[in-house]
Every structure is written in C-alpha cells, then in structure tokens.
Amino acid sequence: MQSLPDLNTLSHIQKDELIAVLWNQVQSLSAQLTATQQSIKELQARLSLNSKNSSKPPSTDGMTKPAPKSLRGKSGKTSGGQPGHKGATLCQSAQVDEVVIHKSTAVCPACQLELTDFEVVEKRQVFELPELRAKVTEHVLMRAHCSCGAVHTDIWPEGINAPVQYGPRAKAVAVNLNQSHFVPMARTCEFMQDTFGLSLSQASLQSFGQQAALCLEPTVAAIGQAVQNSPVVNADETGIRVGGKLKWLHCAVTAALTWLGSHAKRGREAFSDLGILAGVKSVMVHDGWKCYQEHDCRHALCNAHHLRELVFVHEQEGVFDSWAKEMMDLLLLANGEVQQLGGPLTPERQAWFRHQWEVLLQRGESFNPPEQHTGAPTGKRGRQKQSKAFNLLMRLRNYKDDVWRFMTDAGVPFTNNLAEQALRMAKVRQKVSGCFRTEDGAKTFFTIRSYLATMRKQKACLFDCLVSVFQGKPIEPQLA
C-alpha cells in the first residue's frame, strides 16, 4: 500500500489532481460496495426461498425443511370430528352371506332332557374376504352332425379370442394397481401371483394397459372437448422424463373432468398441437405464465402463488411495513366471504375490496420503487432487472382484474389447485416407478389417468370402470 505523500511539498495543482484521483477511487469503491451489497441481499433472499414462500416444490427443500405454517387462522373448533359429522364406523350389515349358530349344549346337564327352546342373545358379524384364487372357466365348442348330412357348429362368445387368456376382472385389478396406484410392474406381477395365483408377466401387464388406452381414446377425446367448452378451465404444466429426455405434461381440468396430454414443448406450439387450451373461450385459471395470457379468453390467476410470494416479501420487509401481510389477509377475507356466500360478492363489497387493494399497492410501491440503471452500460439487452417484490406488485396491479376474478365471476376458484392436483399424480408415479421409457408408455398412462381421474371426481368405482373397459363397453363419464 502506498503511503500518503507529503502534502506540504505539493503545489495547489498537484493537490487538486490528488483529490480528483481519490474522489474517482471513492466513487468506484462505493459503486462496487453497492453492487456487492445488492448481490449479498439477492443471494440471502435466494437461500431463504422454500416451498412455503415460493413456487419451489417441497422436494427442493433438502434437509433444511421449513417449519409447517398455514395461512388459515384458528377456527375456534376443537380437533377431530365436529358435531353432525358423518362417521365411518363399521356397522352390522343386513345382508348376511353365512350364519353360524352357537349353542351351549343340546342336552340339559341337570335333567338330561333335550333343549329345544332357544332364543337369540346377541349377534356378532365378521367382515372377511373370500379366498382370493383365480377362477378358471373352460369354454368347449361343440359340433353336431345331422342325419341329413348338415354340420352345425356353435360360435365362441364375445371376448373369447385365444386358447388361454385373462378375463376382464383380472386385467382390471392389474391395471388398477399399476396405472391408478402406481405399483411398479414387477411388484404388480408379484401381487397377482401371491394373491390370486396368476403367473402374470410384465409384457402381459403392458399389453393390458395398451388395450385399455386404445379403448379409452374416444372417451378421453370427448373429455377434452367437454373441458374446452366448460365455463371455467384450470390449466397447468410440469416437466416429465420420457425416454431420458425432458418432456412436458399439460393438463386442462374442471371440477368434474380431467384431461392430460404430453408434448415435447412447453408453450405455444404445445397448445396448438394438443388443441385443448387453444380453443378455450371462457375463463382460464392459471399461474400467470405469459403463454397462457396470450389466449383469447378471460383469465383468472392462481392466488396460492400470490400468497406464497407475499409470504416471502413479508419475511424480507415485514420489519419496515406490513403491507404484504395485509394483502394476504385481504385476499383470504374475500375468499372466505365468497365461500360463505356461495358465489360472487355484491358490487358494493367488490368496490370496498378493490379500494383496499389499491391502498396496499401504493404502500408496497412506496417501499419498492423501480431500480434505475446507474453507471456505465452493462451491454445486456432487455429490461432492467427488478426485485421480486417490485415484479410481484407490477403483476398484482397490471392483472388486478384477473387476481380478483374469483370475487366477480361465478364458479371461478381462488386457486389453481385443481390443475396442480391433476399433475401431482404423474410426479408421484415418476418418483415411485421412475421415468417413462417410451412415448407410447407415457401416452398410455396419461390416457388411462385422464379417464380414472375423471371417474374418481364423479364418485364412480374405478374397478368397475376398468372392468367395463376390458369388456369393450367403458362406463362413460358425465360430460355436461
């Protein structure tokens, strides 16, 4: 480090030059310090992101999982079932398959007379499964010769196509385990062997799934058309692994219907090729991604995303102002009133919420002004990078009608949970059984999953539905 020169030996011009050099160095160091502090702040904020205050999935939390927190306040109710709650206790059945009579003795030990006057003291029932063994039915084709010389041969019943084959119920059990409950193929075959004594191969199980998907293609196409014409459609997408490569799973769902489809692309090209979301003309509920916003329809944004982002902002700025917390409370209050009313709020109440929202937006913007570029040009193209809080406020202001759509339009949900739940099962399947090895395997799974998720929403028995599929006459969902 250079020592300070003797100022007494310097002329006025030399002192001015020294001051200018030192001033430039101070300016440069000050700019570096500001940039370093900003980088540290961004890195600290990035480290504090988790599944509770952002859109990151819980799997990214690692070993430092955040403490559970809920945005719901205390209801004042005790834990457990509430008065009037319909229980699920095992009760005795009026339909009995077998009765076992228990008598103490047939002869009186005291007088040796035969006992005939018995009365029922108590009844107890045991619910048990029958012996789970495969039932083998042999079909014999007969031929008859008439005295006139004619030969009469019967025909095989519908569905009897091979010397040895599995029946619809056996196929339904296997596909239900593999496609609905995500049991891997090898373990499904082991279960079928241990439980029913059926030596099922993985190739046979794969062919069962392909057979079901082929039969269900018209039904799933009708589901997609019905979703497209629904007054409210929830949409979302997530990455999946197919053949070791990244693909995208897209969904379009309603409260009663689920449609799933995969594509190599995530955005516009996928929407155009799949054809479902591109035709939505009513209300589309989504997470605010730009490609969704380009659709020519009304939009509703998922407020679960907003709540998580507001949690993060409040954790960062709560010591200065509680505007983010008050925004969360306002959204939850409006949602509670919509749920209680069972529909849109009155115009007066809507106006009150919008006024409160505007006040909170202005408060938040006062604490998060836009960052202005200072210093030499960086050479980077595009808009100036802004803070997460500023970007969130701009979205909440520019799309405030979409944020509050749940309050103004009938049937519009507060969140996009319907779509996220539809995608979650594919992620569970991927964690349990690994990635999809082929495009055909992925298509088979999503076709069957679309049908089963739809029938589950409509309170149907999935096993009966799969049996009907393998009988060639699938139970059709209600599409209205």
Q: State phi, psi for 444 to the nearest 5 degrees.
A: -60, -45
Q: What is the pLDDT of residue 73?
A: 66
Cβ–Cβ < 8 Å for 216, 223: no
376, two tokens: 């030499």
Q: What is the pLDDT of residue 357?
A: 96
Report the distance separating Cα 381 and Cα 57, nearest Å: 31
DSSP 107: B
**pLDDT 10s per residue in the chain (480 long)?**
567 677 777 788 887 888 888 888 888 888 888 778 777 877 776 677 776 666 666 666 666 666 666 666 676 777 777 787 777 788 888 999 999 988 878 788 878 788 788 888 889 999 988 888 888 999 999 999 998 889 899 888 888 888 999 999 999 999 999 999 999 999 999 999 999 999 999 999 999 999 999 999 999 999 999 999 999 999 999 999 998 899 999 999 999 999 999 999 998 999 999 989 888 989 999 999 999 999 999 999 999 999 999 988 888 766 567 899 999 999 999 999 999 999 999 999 999 999 999 999 999 999 888 876 655 555 666 677 778 888 899 999 999 999 999 999 999 999 999 999 999 988 888 888 777 888 999 999 999 999 999 999 999 999 999 999 999 999 999 998
CB atoms within 10 A of CB 286: 23
CA dist 165 → 168, 176, 204, 334, 466 (Å): 10, 18, 10, 58, 17
Q: What is the pLDDT of residue 52?
A: 66
Q: Which amino acid is at 351?
A: A
DSSP string of 163-188? SS---HHHHHHHHIIIIIS---HHHH
Biggest CA pair distance of the chain: 142
Q: What is the pLDDT of residue 382?
A: 62
Indicate the pTM of the whole model.
Answer: 0.80
Cα dihedral 227, 229, 230, 231 sign: positive
279: CB partners within 8 A, 6+ apart: 228
CA dist 287 → 4, 72, 447 (Å): 60, 21, 24
The residues spanned by each domain of the chain are 303-366+386-412
Q: What is the pLDDT of residue 250?
A: 95
In 3-state terms, what secondary structure has residue 240? strand
Q: What is the pLDDT of residue 469?
A: 96
Q: What torsion do the CA atoms of 289, 292, 296, 302 make, to the nearest 10 degrees?
A: -70
CA dist 156 → 153, 161, 379, 468 (Å): 10, 8, 78, 20
